[in-house]
Structure 1
Amino acid sequence: MDLTMELNEVLQTGTDEEKEILRLALQAIRQKRERGSAYPSGFLGLSGEFTEEGTYRFRVPITPYTLNRGGIVHGGITATLADSTMGSLINKSLPEGKAAVTVEMKINYLEAGTGKELISEARLIRLGHTLAFADCKVENETGKRIAHATGTFAILRFSG
């Protein structure tokens, strides 16, 4: 079956959840084209903001894509969110020609990921010449703390 036929089949007979996954896939493609963001960022609908000097926040709706079979946010999604928030904060704090990549991350899961959205907030602890260190809290919209993470990032030179 070709892609067009498969898409039409899901659009005509698929569940609301399946149609939502297709919408998220299109969102991921659009964000990749418009912002150059990674596909997981598009599936999650990541869009961040500085909330104060050295602090960066993402708000992410909880969608069928983020849930495990138990109906709670998959731990890997929570970890991806924390890593993305800390990485975005550090990368937006670096001068032109440098980029940060994760070299180590630790996450503690504190509560089940439930609610309407997840809010992650990363704080820059140290920005050096070769390494950066940050932490990140992940809460739901009611303020329930879902997870706490720390991360170390290598700072690299790049051309492009």
Structure 2
Amino acid sequence: MNYETKNRFNHYLGIEIERIDDEGCRATLKIRPEFYNSIDGVVHGGVTGTLADVAMGHAAAPHINGVQQSVTVESKVSYLSPAKGDLLIAESKVVKRGSKIIVMEARITTGEGKLVAVALGTYARVKPKEF
């Protein structure tokens, strides 16, 4: 299942949200050669970090009518091994949910199940109409 989002950047990259619930989110990204860094076949860390951020942000405060309801306050990604292959998967989960601030974590794996990164992020609930 692909959830509605109006996030143009996610669409541009091809990120798909497969699952969102009260505990977390699963987001996937099919790898394209444009995502490689200067080492052919290795995904740029920014792509991996973006996928983690998307999975964490969606679960922190799910979109309403396709519009995000949270913004990233801070994020840390630990890269454990090169991201290679055809697919990246980010599985996020809630660490602590407050009324305004939500702490999330994510594990990013390849389609073959190899762990390539772990992330920790803090998100703030927002009311997009206030922007």
Structure 1 length as normaliser, TM-score? Answer: 0.70
Percent sequence identity is 31
**Would you say the 8 A contact 2:24–2:56 is kept in 1?**
no
Which structure's residues are more often strand, by fraction?
2
Question: Which amino acid in the other structure matches residue 48 of structure 1?
Answer: I
Moved over 6 A (4+): none
Rounded Cα–Cα distance in structure 2 between residues aligned with 1:35 and 1:158: 14
The corresponding residue for 1:87 is 57
Structure with the higher helix share, 1 or 2? 1
RMSD over equivalenced CA pairs, Å: 2.3
Aligned residues: 124
| CA distance 1:127–1:98, shift in 2 (3 Å) | farther
1:101-124 per-position Cα deviation (integer Å, ceiling 9, x unaligned): 101111100000101110111101
Aligned positions of 1:127-138 closer than 5 A: 127-138=97-108
Asked if structure 1 preserves the Cα contact closer than 8 Å seen for 2:58 and 2:68, the reply is no
Deviations 1:29-48 (A, max 9, x none): xxxxx842222x12321111
Q: Distance in 1 between matches of 2:96 and 2:38?
A: 38
**3-state DSSP of counterpart to 2:129:** coil
Unaligned runs of 5+ residues in structure 2 are: none
Given that residues 16 and 28 in structure 2 are in contact (C-alpha distance below 8 angstroms), is that contact kept between their aligned partners in structure 1?
Answer: yes
Q: Tell me, in whole angstroms, the C-alpha distance in 2 between the residues paired with 1:103 and 1:44.
A: 22
Distance in 1 separating the partners of 2:114 and 2:80: 9
Unaligned residue ranges in structure 1 (runs of 5+): 1-33
